[in-house]
Structure 1
Amino acid sequence: MGLPLVVGTDGSEFSLQAVDWAADEAARRRVPLRIVYASLWERYEGQVPSEEGTGPLEGWEADRILDTALERARARRPGLEVSGEVLPDDAADVLADEGRNASLLVVGSRGRGELAELLLGSVSLAVAARADCPVVVVRGPVPLPGRERPRQDRPLVVLGVDDAGENASAVAFAFEEAQLRGAELLALHAWRAPKVTPQSHPLIAGDAHAAPVHHAQETLADALARPGREHPRVTVRRAAVEGSAHKALLDASEGAEMVVVGTRRRLGHFGLQLGRTNHAVLHHAPCPVAVVPQVPR
């Protein structure tokens, strides 16, 4: 059995949806589920704890929050190995530490201390930017087991492939998820045509799209070649889309089971560089978003 799948809870409905999703995913991957509650979560979110007003929640309240999540996971997936722990520390620090010995980290889109109008919570964003393992931010409703999708509809996993040449981890993760779910994989690469001046020859102007389209198609082919051979049962669609990457991913995410994006750690910098596209997808996608780190060798 592999490394556990770790999910954070704070007692909010968003975090309990993340527990539901994590239980399903752990069962699908056949790995243990570990649920953690960081009892300084309220302080991180800027909410004054309800008991004493200065410190973490009293032990009984923290235990109640954890027990609720444990019972929910066990009821949803009977037979799944589930454990949990209350850790008296900052939520983002706890989850980043847990990610060093996890196959996957799962968080809800917001915590209970967040303002209702926020699209993504501070803990979720911090964990996505700091973890050493893939992080899934659960967005959108989580269906009941066995009711995920009508039988006639094939599930879809969407993958963003960038130009940096550092997609290997994200691509491998997306193929794995597609295979586990019996899903089709849609791999997207966005491109933009160079500006054409009015003085340009019409034949040259007409060819302005040819080079970026060819480059986009080559980028997709190179990124997908090896994992495609390793996962021959996964049906793959490639799409070279003109325009912004975040818009292409958000458009494709409607009805998808997951969007997968990669990010990289720059030497000399703390944390990962999420970038504009990843921020947009994390804030606006209607489905779970997986952020997969690619650390330079």
Structure 2
Amino acid sequence: MTTRHVTLGLDGSDESAAAADWAAREALLRDLPLRVLLVRAIPEPPVPPGPRRAALSAWAEDRTRTEAGRLSLRYPGLRTVREQPAGIPADVFAEVSAESELLVLGSRGLGSVRGFLAGSVAQATVARAHCPVVLVRAAGDPPGGERGGGPGGDVLAGIDPLGPAADVLAFAFRAAELRGVPLRVLAAWQLPGPYGLYPGLDPGFTDAEAAECARRLSEAVAPWRDKHPAVAVREIPVHGNAAERLVAEAATGVALVVAGRRTRRSRLGAHIGPVAHGLMHHAPTPLAIVPHD
């Protein structure tokens, strides 16, 4: 039987160091071992056996040993395992995600060049991972916060009131329950098609759209309220762009944002969707992106 882990992806950057603290706390909350993983990225062209490859292996071994040791001292009771596989980082992360409870990476947002996890690797990993991926900003990274995103504050989940939400809500309710904090569930609605171009529409029309969003949101949340009666839930039906409204809500006492991305693939490869993409750019807190059908 394969042991489930919380997997931490390191790259030596400040972002992955901040993610390490978040991952350690999460592993303790879930009573799971923490896999500390640093991918020895395959250079192009491949480096032949010799001093350079040996130095890279030694650095990776030392980096994971040092970080695992630091975390074990800071978080008593934490169980760690260390791995330094060679490969293409996004490929390795996608593979290990199949046997992980969740995968935790550091991120400064897609526009940054600091840390190899901050841009294309994080995006490719999110698009292909089999488990939820949590992106954590470094301390002091605008809009900042406690190192690794502190444990206090609500959990905020964003769902599509017209789409499947079970996987996102399952993750969000459990995250709130483990932390003993309230859960906010936000669903955004917009006027369909050309109606959004006419601000003078009959208020009854927009009221009906708002009521429909609220109804669908309540229907989606109801089964999970029953399964997690200890979690205090606030439903937030809002008008506007979903990513923008989630970012604004996240700035008001939220410790973790949870959103989904479809697992469907196109001829151009896997995609994460506009909401997850927007949150990867702008979410001010740790962000969990949950794959769903």
TM-score bucket of the superposed structures, by smaller chain? 0.7 to 0.9
Aligned residue in 1 for 2:142:
none
CA deviation map 1:159-185 (0-9, x unaligned): 101144211101110000000111111
Q: Is the 8 A contact 2:13 2:115 kept in 1?
A: no
Letter in 2 for 1:20: D
Structure 2 matches for 1:57-206, cutoff 5 A? 58-110=56-108, 115-116=113-114, 120-139=118-137, 141=139, 143=146, 148-149=151-152, 155-193=153-191, 195=195, 205-206=202-203
Tell me by how many angstroms 1:13 deviates.
1.2
Tell me by how many angstroms 1:35 deviates.
0.8
Of 285, 293, 297 in structure 1, the residue corresponding to residue 291 of structure 2 is 293
Worse-matched range after superposition: 275-284 or 52-61? 52-61
Aligned residue in 2 for 1:278:
276
SS in 1 for 2:254: coil
Q: Is the 8 A contact 2:173 2:228 kept in 1?
A: yes
Tell me by how many angstroms 1:140 deviates.
5.1
Q: Is the 8 A contact 1:11 1:69 kept in 2?
A: no
Mapped to 2, the partners of 1:125 and 1:63 lie a distance apart of: 26
Mapped to 2, the partners of 1:272 and 1:172 lie a distance apart of: 23
CA deviation map 1:83-142 (0-9, x unaligned): 11110111111111110001111100059xx62499942221111111011110112537
Task: Determine if the alignment matches structure 1 residue 263 to structure 2 residue 258.
Answer: no
Letter in 1 for 2:59: E
Q: Is the 8 A contact 1:175 1:185 kept in 2?
A: yes
Runs of 5+ consecutive residues of structure 1 not aligned to the other structure = 150-154
Worse-matched range after superposition: 184-193 or 269-278? 269-278
Mapped to 2, the partners of 1:226 and 1:289 lie a distance apart of: 24
Structure 2 matches for 1:195-234, cutoff 5 A? 195=195, 205-234=202-231
- Structure 1 residues 56 and 8: alpha-carbon distance in aligned structure 2, compared to 1, 3 A threshold: farther
Tell me by how many angstroms 1:262 deviates.
0.9
Mapped to 1, the partners of 2:69 and 2:11 lie a distance apart of: 14
Mapped to 1, the partners of 2:243 and 2:85 lie a distance apart of: 36
Structure 2 matches for 1:15-30, cutoff 5 A? 15-30=16-31
Mapped to 1, the partners of 2:8 and 2:267 lie a distance apart of: 26
Aligned residue in 1 for 2:41:
40
**What TM-score do you get using the length of structure 1 for normalisation?**
0.83
- Structure 1 residues 128 and 119: alpha-carbon distance in aligned structure 2, compared to 1, 3 A threshold: closer
- Structure 1 residues 196 and 8: alpha-carbon distance in aligned structure 2, compared to 1, 3 A threshold: closer
SS in 1 for 2:78: coil
Runs of 5+ consecutive residues of structure 2 not aligned to the other structure = 140-144
Q: Is the 8 A contact 1:5 1:32 kept in 2?
A: yes
Percentage of matched positions with identical amino acids:
35
Aligned residue in 2 for 1:242:
239
- Structure 1 residues 257 and 32: alpha-carbon distance in aligned structure 2, compared to 1, 3 A threshold: same
Mapped to 2, the partners of 1:2 and 1:187 lie a distance apart of: 31
Aligned residue in 2 for 1:31:
32
Q: Is the 8 A contact 2:184 2:236 kept in 1?
A: yes
Worse-matched range after superposition: 93-102 or 57-66? 57-66
Aligned residue in 1 for 2:12:
11
- Structure 1 residues 56 and 212: alpha-carbon distance in aligned structure 2, compared to 1, 3 A threshold: farther
Measured on the aligned residues, the alpha-carbon RMSD in Å equals 3.1
